[in-house]
């Protein structure tokens, strides 16, 4: 994808020969940093990985290429309970390393587990921003569905 590491010298500059040893080393390093040692072989095809492992590889790629922020849209939607927890643990690990994450999700228990703040949207617009420690999950759902207004949540705080 244009981010491959090439060998030094003429072989890399002229012939664009890849330095597969360095690429494997970097991949293993990034996966280890995120605690994703369950991948058996670094050469294993991504399509053979589980859903949680695929999410982990995506996050590791973003971290390896110097992303400033990671955006995850429904990362646990098609995963089982165990794999969902692994993705949430991965989010916590990345967050602890200082990388900002935007998590887009309708799964309120997951959002409340990992979020520092929650932007609640309704009908395509941001309705309010709440602190997960100051807002009940049922109130967040009520805001999303229109059963409660943003003014009501501010009065109860």
The tokens describing 9, both together, are: 């010298």
Tell me the percentage of the chain whose pLDDT exceeds 70. 96
Which uninterrupted H or E stretch holds 69?
A: none
Residue 107: per-residue pLDDT = 93
Q: What is the pLDDT of residue 34?
A: 76
**Cα 12 from Cα 130, distance rounded (Å):** 51
Give me the residue spans of the domains in the chain.
Answer: 1-114, 117-157
* Ramachandran area for residue 5 (φ above 0: left; ψ -120 to 50: alpha; else beta): beta
The pLDDT, as a whole number, for residue 121 is 93
Please tell me the class of the 1-114 domain.
Answer: alpha beta
Rounded to two decimals, the pTM is: 0.77
Question: What does the pLDDT look like over 39-89, one tens digit per residue?
Answer: 778 888 889 988 888 888 888 888 777 788 999 999 888 888 888 888 899
């Amino acid at each position: 994808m244009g981010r491959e590491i090439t060998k030094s010298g003429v072989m890399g500059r002229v012939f664009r020969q890849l330095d597969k040893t360095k690429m494997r080393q970097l991949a293993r390093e990034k996966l280890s940093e995120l605690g994703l040692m369950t991948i058996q072989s670094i050469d294993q095809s991504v399509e053979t990985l589980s859903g949680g492992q695929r999410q982990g590889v995506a996050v590791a790629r973003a971290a390896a290429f110097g992303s400033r922020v990671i955006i995850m849209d429904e990362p646990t939607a098609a995963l089982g309970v165990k794999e969902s927890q692994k993705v949430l643990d991965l989010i916590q690990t990345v967050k602890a390393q200082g990388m900002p994450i935007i998590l887009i999700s309708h799964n309120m228990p997951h959002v409340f587990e990992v979020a520092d703040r929650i932007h609640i949207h309704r009908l395509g617009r941001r309705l309010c921003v709440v602190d997960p420690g100051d807002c009940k999950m049922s109130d967040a759902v009520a805001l999303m569905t229109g059963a409660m207004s943003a003014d009501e949540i501010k009065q109860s705080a």
